[in-house]
Amino acid sequence: MPVTASSKSYRVGRSKTGLGLFATMPIKKGTRIIRYFGPILDCRIPAQDDIENKYLFELNGRWTIDGSVRKNLARYINHSCRPNAESDVRPRERKVFIRAIKNIEPGDEINYDYGTDYFKAYLKPIGCKCASCENKRKKQRAEARAERAKVKARAERKAQKAGAKSANKGAKKQKLNGKHFNGKAGRAKA
Ligand SMILES: [Zn+2]
């Protein structure tokens, strides 16, 4: 029997992108946290196949859970590319459980990976807002900033050198270019 977390181990709270589900007590890796549930839709029935909302959870080619019902608190769980939980999909039982894949601390937001299809359709166009992607973007911005600073410093050095050269007007023409001045010239001579 899998260990199931008590319903008091989580709460709905404010996350960066709206609402989210947060741990209120430690949840051990491997624990079933919550069931993702709602009416089961059969795609062979046109009226059911027509239902469209962002809480549909596909079990397989035929069956889909409509998780938009209010009691389904699992619908508040946000996507993450580096999640602390996963969806345990049981098509035969037509059930989905969200299970911890890491030890989760009180206050942590619970996340799982919504999968490639969802990511491509909904997240890629607007940019994924999960912590992992935000960090990646932050790092890329920092790297771009460092690169710009480097280019600027190089340009300033060049300008300084040009200034020095023009101040040297009339002096003997220097045969050496800048490269020979940074220490490696000595070794080349030896
Ligand atoms: Zn992401």
- Enter the pTM of the model: 0.74
Centroid of ligand 1 to alpha carbon of 141 (angstroms): 16
Centroid of ligand 1 to alpha carbon of 67 (angstroms): 22
Centroid of ligand 1 to alpha carbon of 178 (angstroms): 46
Q: Can you tell me the mean pLDDT for 71-82?
A: 96
Centroid of ligand 1 to alpha carbon of 60 (angstroms): 24
Centroid of ligand 1 to alpha carbon of 133 (angstroms): 4
Which residues in the chain belong to E strands, given as ranges?
Answer: 10-15, 18-23, 32-36, 40-42, 56-58, 63-66, 78-79, 85-90, 95-100, 111-112
Centroid of ligand 1 to alpha carbon of 120 (angstroms): 11
| % of the chain with per-residue pLDDT over 70 | 86
User: What 8-state DSSP symbol labels residue 4?
Assistant: B
What are the structure tokens assigned to 97, written together?
């459980």
Q: Can you tell me the mean pLDDT for 97-121?
A: 94
pLDDT of residue 184: 47
Full DSSP string of 142-183: HHHHHHHHHHHHHHHHHHHHHHHHHHTTTSPPP---GGGGSS
Kindly tell me if the per-residue pLDDT of 121 is higher than 90.
no
Report the DSSP beta bridge partners of residue 85: 100, 112
Indicate the average pLDDT of the chain.
Answer: 87
Centroid of ligand 1 to alpha carbon of 46 (angstroms): 34
Q: Can you tell me the mean pLDDT for 49-71?
A: 93
pLDDT of residue 31: 96
CA distance to 31, 86, 111, 145, per residue, from 101 (Å): 8, 7, 10, 36
What are the structure tokens assigned to 149, written together?
């600073």
User: What 8-state DSSP symbol labels residue 110?
Assistant: P
Pairing relation of β-strands 32-36 and 95-100? Answer: antiparallel
Per-residue confidence band for 8, with pLDDT thresholds at 50, 70 and 90 = confident
pLDDT of residue 4: 76
Centroid of ligand 1 to alpha carbon of 4 (angstroms): 27
Residues with CB under 5 A from ligand 1 (ion): 81, 128, 130, 133
User: What 8-state DSSP symbol labels residue 129?
Assistant: -
Q: Please write the tens of the pLDDT for every residue from 31-56.
A: 999 999 999 999 999 999 999 998 99
